[in-house]
Amino acid sequence: MFDAILRADQAILNGIQDLLRCEFLDIFFTFVTKLGNAGFIWILIGLLMCCFKKCRRTGVVMLCSVAAAFLIGEVTIKPLIGRLRPFMDNAAVQLLIDPPRGFSFPSGHSMSSFAAATALFLCGNRKVSWTWYLGAFFIAFSRLYLYVHYPSDVLTGAVLGSLTAWAVYALFRRFGPGRKVKVFKEM
């Protein structure tokens, strides 16, 4: 089964290289992936939201979701799985960015982006949430275009990031500020 997933991953990556690779997209996806480095764009948006009372709670939920995604993906899963990156298997590919350090599975860019987008969807204006998911999609896809993640890394990262945000959101709804938690039963 893992061999079949690896073959599909490689076929998709090579298809992206064969069908989409061009100078404009090289520049575009290099820029987009840099926005996602270390969750930069999402952390910046979250911090800006924390500066305004009206959207502070959303910013906090988003920042906590991104932090939790980092702990789950980068600190826990990546070292356990230890999957090498695709460019290490295919030396013929010319990287457009410096080779990322660390392991490949799951994609940290995808996890943080979809954690942030999902947190914004859950807490914010759902009519405009598609824009956050579009940004998350472009950041996640940039990792495939740049040949630094397998599709299964990106897909798993997106799912785990989304689930992480749902869990953080549920915890904030249950125990977050503004909720009165009874510690002792009334007598």
Reading the chain (187 residues) residue by residue, the pLDDT tens digits are 778 888 889 889 999 998 989 999 999 999 999 999 988 999 999 999 999 988 889 999 999 999 999 999 999 999 999 898 998 887 788 888 988 988 999 999 999 999 999 999 998 777 778 899 999 999 999 999 999 999 999 999 999 999 999 999 999 888 866 554 333 344 3
Look at domain 23-175 and name its CATH class: mainly alpha
Domain ranges of the chain: 23-175
Residue with tokens 């764009």: 41
> Within 10 Å of residue 158's Cβ, how many Cβ atoms?
24
pTM over the 0.85 mark: yes
Q: Which 3 state secondary structure label does DSSP give 67?
A: helix
